[in-house]
Structure 1
Amino acid sequence: MTSPPVDVVELTRQLVRFDTTNPPGNEAACMKYLAGLLTDAGLDCQLLGSHPDRPNLLARLPGRDSAPPLLWHGHLDVVPVAGQRWSRPPFAAELADGCVWGRGTVDMKGGVAMMAGALLRMAAAGERPAGTVLLALLSDEEAGSYTGAHYLVREHPQLFDGVRYAIGEDGGASIGLGGGRRLHPIVVAEKRACWLRITLRGPGGHASRVASDANPVRQLNRLLTAVAGGGLGVQPTTAVRRMLAELGAAAAPATAAIYQALAADPADLELLAGLPERDGRYLRSVLQHSVNATVIRAGNHTNVLPTEVTVELDGRLLPGAGSAEFVAALRALVPDELEVEVLVEGEPLPEPEFGPMYELLADVLRRADPDGIPVPMIMSASTDSRLFPQLGISCYGWLPMLFCDDVNYRDLMHSADERIPVEALRFGESCFYDLVRRYG
């Protein structure tokens, strides 16, 4: 006899109470709790990992084999709360003001609860999906995925044989951009990391005299000026063009006109002045390779001009680009000779796929929220979805949620007083349940 489904709100609260702050992670207790629930419901569960304190959980709900296996994935580690001022204890999972409060409610224990809750609900009803659903609950996403998705893709690729599509974070509702219309983003592409260390060298000397134009500090000024806008020049991709076109059709009239003009001329970034500042910054981030200077190291004496300066840059690449293209674009903007070391280069990502799975995800959202509008979205950062394409899997970010129209749930991620509405959790679980029933 199968177990009754677990309430998604209470499941979220239980998961938040496990302190899985990364570092160090220590996801094992939380993984084992979920493994127990899913095993009792009849799912086949495996705990796999490179370290006993940091396993990954793979749970299978067997299907009818009339469609390929479908992967759902989420992570259980969370970012630290140190240095933040919370009005409620971050791991108490208090229920107040219609929300569950706590670290990880949005990123992404609430999403994990939606996925697990939908599968528990299906198992309790004795239903079998068209294709087996593989739920991969992962460690270490917040710190590089090395003991999580990296480990599984590298050491156990056979576990994902036959999987055609994967569903993970981000996505959701209330992202702004709609000018009053509620949008449900479906993530179809992510930017990949390209972290650089730039070394600038030149003559030093006594700081009481005007520095040589070749001094590294002067070079630093020119470099920082070149990247002050946050990007390396507009390069609209296919995914961004489609996103702008659909925003132009979906947004409120005044906002839609801006998107339509931007779709016609993506290089005209002055159009973004007509949008809220947050929305403009997001679009600037996905219209170009973005770059920010984050770490600067120079001299150690106030009255000595340094002969060497290092600058670390956090670059994010548009789909299809690599570090060589990024460095070339950077060199084209800076007149000085740059000594460049690539610190991190993310995994290459394929072009986004708009096809049957995208249309199914959009239709599930339309049915669940007739007043909402699904739109494609490009993430300015990356998730575990950057790793599964190595196995030939097409990935989508899709965590359906309902938030108040004046709340952008991305503002709550990694911040103090992270919280998720009860209504958002129930909406999301219902969407995942509808998805698994209609898949195939």
Structure 2
Amino acid sequence: MKIDLRFLLLIPFLAFSAASAQVKQPDWKAIEQETMLHFQTLLRINTSDPGGTEAPAVAYMKSVLEKEGIKVQTFALDPNRPNLVARISGSGKKHPILIMAHTDVVSIDSTKWTYPAFSATRKDGYVYGRGAVDDKDNVATGLMIMLTLKRLNIPLDRDVIFLAESGEEGNVKFGIDYMVKEHWPEIEAEYCFAEGGGVTRTGGKIQYAAVATTEKVPRGVKLVAKGISGHGSVPLRSNAIVHLSQAVVNVAAWQTPMRLNETTQAFFQRLAEISTPEQAARYQSILSGKNTEAAQEYLAVNEPRYYSTLRTSISPNIFKGGYRSNVIPSEAEASLDIRALPDEDMPKLLDAMRKIINDPQVEIISSSAASRPGSKPSSLTTEAFKIIEAAVKTTYNTITLPTMLTGATDMSFLRAKGIACYGIGPMMDSEDGPKGFGAHSDQERILEESLHKFLRFQWEVVSNLAATAKK
């Protein structure tokens, strides 16, 4: 009997659709109204890091969850910076899943905001406020997932855990680091869903959904040049600033080795499928590893984020030296922001850097440890990733691109402990960033439509991954 290959390719999607149909669906109109209420309330709480405190946001969510009979615990290294853990128990047939979001937000310059940063203003289909896309969208939808699971009394094969963590924006000792070291049993899970991905829309048309399955590791390195001090009227060949400047030029021009992993391999393969022939040819060149010079140079100039995913990157960001215009300083220093591939051998990389600099007057000083741990990418063959792909298709009707983040998230702590983590996020317009409305920008906003679609997407993922399958 001849079997149609197209039918075989549809089997995973059909299986997912059948499972989805078995899960009781919420009254989405009512859910959207409540989501907006919680979202605006959370946005109006100043949880700036530094400058604010997460305690009021945690107290609000604790009250909301406990009114529904959901078990809630709080854990705090600092009482002003607590972490909230809510759990809905399943049968225990399968290991738990974890929904994670951070309640703190980056600080603001109030003079740059059209609407007050903590006003949660609704205007023309948008909600404006610090944290709108980083990360109170995930906080609000995580809260609503828990409330909805409880109200509909969905039978579960897994516990569903919600972690609203503090300190993600630069103070992980209060949040994820503390929870992993001191309260691991409360958040241990098979899968985790957190920030780090998102759906890209350009010109009103959805392009793709990015799901973060790994991320680069931040490493702090300083270059310190030492020379002889003296009067500026008598130039010296030992001038520390000159030696440091040349070292920085050499390092900046250094193209560290290109190396793909499972995530970046799949990323460029799938990206080529939805690109123009000219773009696809570049991505295919990268995948082949042959004659890649032109393609790499194009990415470096025109698509620097893609270029950064090819290798360990180095960016000189801070330069210090001298204190008077007529004094030759005896020391100068440059700080390098290194974003290492997850499996990078840092001692070997620094040895190579010394050879690139080739100057005994310049010393490389590395921080003793990474601020976040490295780990293997989360697999693309898990039950969770397959369900994510199917939910992307049903919610957004687009392709899923596994992505390696060039920045860092708290998922790195969980991956290092063996949890398969997937970074997800709402739909965002690519035009918003250049307009100054992105995460950490002078202003921040999210489409109301995007928030509600994201909740539906999360519901599809969590309910179908955790719910007991009907026979």
> What letter is aligned with 1:262?
I
Give the alignment of 1:353-368 within 5 angstroms: 353-356=379-382, 357-368=384-395
Match of 2:443 in 1: 417
Q: Which of 228, 244, 254 lines up with 2:268 in the alignment?
A: 244
State the alpha-carbon separation in 1 of the partners of residues 111 and 337 from structure 2. Answer: 23
Counterpart among 10, 26, 44 of residue 17 in structure 1 = 44
Bigger shift: residues 215-224 or 19-28: 215-224
What residue number does 2:222 align with?
Answer: 197
Number of residues paired by the alignment?
431
Q: Is the 8 A contact 1:230 1:290 kept in 2?
A: no
Conserved? CA contact 2:270–2:401, under 8 Å: yes
Q: CA RMSD in A?
A: 2.5
Unaligned runs of 5+ in 2: 1-29, 467-471
Identity %: 25
Query: For the pair shown, which has the larger CA radius of gyration, 1 or 2?
Result: 2
Change (3 A) 1:255 1:439: same
Structure 1 residue aligned with 2:158, among 131, 154, 173?
131
Q: CA, structure 1 residues 248+29, in 2 after alignment: closer, same or farther (shift >3 Å)?
A: same
Partner of 1:431: 457
Alignment of 1:37-436 (within 5 A): 37-82=64-109, 85-161=112-188, 163-174=189-200, 182-212=207-237, 214-229=238-253, 232-265=256-289, 268=292, 270-271=294-295, 280-337=303-360, 338-343=362-367, 345-352=370-377, 353-356=379-382, 357-370=384-397, 372-399=398-425, 401-404=426-429, 406-407=431-432, 412-436=438-462
One-letter amino acid of the counterpart of residue 137, structure 1: A
Structure 2: how far apart are the matches of 1:269 and 1:167? 36
Give the match for residue 26 of structure 2. Answer: none
**1:173 is paired with a residue of what secondary structure?**
strand
Return the alpha-carbon distance in structure 2 between the equivalents of residues 153 and 317 of structure 1. Answer: 23
Runs of 5+ unmatched residues, structure 1:
none
Shift of 1:155: 0.7
Give the deviation of 1:391 after TM superposition: 2.8
Structure 2 vs 1, CA of residues 12 and 266 (structure 1 numbering), >3 Å: closer, same or farther?
Answer: farther
TM-score by length of 1: 0.91
Local SS of the residue matching 2:117:
coil
Q: Deviations over 1:333-382 (max 9, x none)?
A: 21113323223523432221222222221111111112x21111110111
Deviation per CA, 1:190-211, whole angstroms, max 9, x where unpaired?
1111011221112333323343
The structural deviation recorded for 1:287 is 1.2
Specify the code of the residue in structure 2 equivalent to 1:220: L
What is the CA-CA distance between 1:159 and the residue it aligns to? 1.5
Distance in structure 2 (CA, Å) of the matches to 1:230 and 1:423: 44
How many angstroms apart in 2 are the aligned matches of 1:383 and 1:159?
20
- Distance in 2 (CA, whole Å) between partners of 1:310 and 1:276 is 26
Q: How many angstroms apart in 2 are the aligned matches of 1:135 and 1:392?
A: 18
Aligned amino acid, residue 184 of structure 1: A
Give the superposition deviation at 1:230. Answer: 8.2
Moved more, 127-136 or 246-255: 246-255
- Amino acid across the alignment from 2:427: L
Please give the alpha-carbon distance, in whole angstroms, between the structure 2 residues aligned to 1:299 and 1:275: 36
Q: Does the 8 Å CA contact 2:109/2:442 hold for their aligned counterparts?
A: no
CA contact (8 A) 2:110 2:116 kept: no
Contact 1:216 1:307 in 2 (8 A): yes
Is the Cα–Cα contact under 8 Å of residues 76 and 83 in structure 2 kept in the other structure? Answer: yes
Cα distance in structure 2, aligned partners of 1:359 and 1:267: 34
Alpha carbons 2:299, 2:306 under 8 Å: kept: no
One-letter amino acid of the counterpart of residue 43, structure 1: I
CA-to-aligned-CA distance 1:164-187 (integer Å, 9 cap, x gap): 1111111001177x9x76110010
- Per-residue CA deviations over 1:31-87 (Å, capped at 9, x if unaligned) read 010111111122110011111111000000122323210011110000011276111
Q: Is the 8 A contact 2:254 2:356 kept in 1?
A: no
TM-score (norm 2): 0.85
User: Is the partner of 2:101 in helix, strand or coil?
Assistant: strand
Q: Helix, strand or coil: the match of 1:236?
A: coil
Q: Which range moved further: 288-297 or 261-270?
A: 261-270
Aligned counterparts of 1:269 and 1:19: Cα–Cα separation in 2: 48
| Structure 1 residue 28, shift from structure 2 partner | 0.4
**Contact in 2 for aligned 1:197/1:311 (Cα 8 Å):** yes
**Structure 1 range deviating more: 377-386 or 254-263:** 254-263
Q: 1:326 to 1:275 in 2, by over 3 A?
A: closer
| Partner secondary structure for residue 312 of structure 2 | strand
Q: Indicate if the aligned counterparts of 1:269 and 1:284 stay in contact, CA closer than 8 A.
A: no
Range with bigger deviation, 280-289 or 53-62: 280-289
Cα-to-partner distance string for 1:279-305 (whole Å, 9 max, x where unaligned): 611012211211222222212121221
Q: 1:100 to 1:266 in 2, by over 3 A?
A: farther
* Runs of 4+, deviation exceeding 6 Å: none
Give deviations 1:200-230, integer Å, cap 9, x for gaps: 1123333233430x43122112122123358
